[in-house]
Amino acid sequence: MTGATRRPAVGFIGLGDQGLPMATAIADAGFPPHAWARRPTSLDGLRGVPHIRHDTIQDMAAACDIVGLCVSTDEDVLELVAGGLLEGLGPGSVVVNHGTGIPANAVRLTEVCAPPGVEVLDAPVSGGRPAAEERRLTTMVGGPQPVAERYEPVFSSFSRHVVYLGAVGAGQTAKLFNNALLMMNQAGIAEIVDLAAKLGMDPTRLVDVLKLGSASSAALTLLNTMVTLDNVEHLSSVEALDMELFDTAMRDADVDAGSVTARGMAGAHGLPGLLHRLNP
């Protein structure tokens, strides 16, 4: 941050389903975000929200101490950094990847940003749009700890929990484990529901009571709340992609996680069938 007595200038790119409420929370916390978008109409979501619009990514970067990216893939992040973001950022500024990716690409991003003296944090978030809107995301941070601590007030604007995990890539590793466990739990729920159906039980009533007992989990509570018949096919596809990222990360680390990958994939691919069974 340039200047110890002022609030940091925060940039934000990626005003999608989760990014828009995050940027709004940043503004509400007193950090009116500098904004730029590949599609200028995306900025319309910030109407009524204090922010500063920029016509080019370079101009936005030059005005910022820290820029958060909430875009779909690691490739998108690297493309934005190489496509003008790094050109505009000054030494000591920070790039933060809030999306889900693999640890190796977090290291790669750090290497790309190092020559001009730009710091990098991987800080993926968990909770989805509802949690973003209610400012209760969990943010998992990897990278230099002093940098993470310096900008924790920005992350806390949209988070209930901000957890520092360790060196670069640690945030992404934690997020991939988080996603894998969610999908493994979904696979277990599907198996229990299948057994219940074979016994003639009402699976919907069973799931309702499991949510109240010691078996409760996020995987259970999301069913028919955040996961609905309208979005389940899309979410299933996203989860399968997340498990592919998990598998890649484990292979990169030379760790045998085949059984976890298979179980997680079963949960991802089985999610539509599970939800349809709960909504006959």
Q: What is the pLDDT of residue 2?
A: 44
Q: What is the pLDDT of residue 3?
A: 42
Alpha-carbon span 156 to 164, nearest angstrom = 12
Alpha-carbon span 138 to 123, nearest angstrom = 10
pLDDT in tens, 53-106: 999 999 999 999 999 999 999 999 999 999 999 999 999 999 999 999 999 999
Assigned CATH topology for domain 174-278? N-(1-d-carboxylethyl)-l-norvaline Dehydrogenase; domain 2 (1.10.1040)
Q: Kindly report the pTM of this predicted structure.
A: 0.94
Residues 158-174 as b/e (b if ≥16 CB within 10 A, e otherwise) read bbeebebbeebbbbbbb
Alpha-carbon span 248 to 169, nearest angstrom = 14
pLDDT in tens, 133-176: 999 999 999 999 999 999 999 999 999 999 999 999 999 999 99
**Domain chopping of the chain, boundaries:** 10-167, 174-278
pLDDT in tens, 216-242: 999 999 999 999 999 999 999 999 999
Tokens describing residue 133: 């809107």
The CATH code of domain 10-167 reads 3.40.50.720
Confidence bin at 5 (pLDDT 50/70/90): low
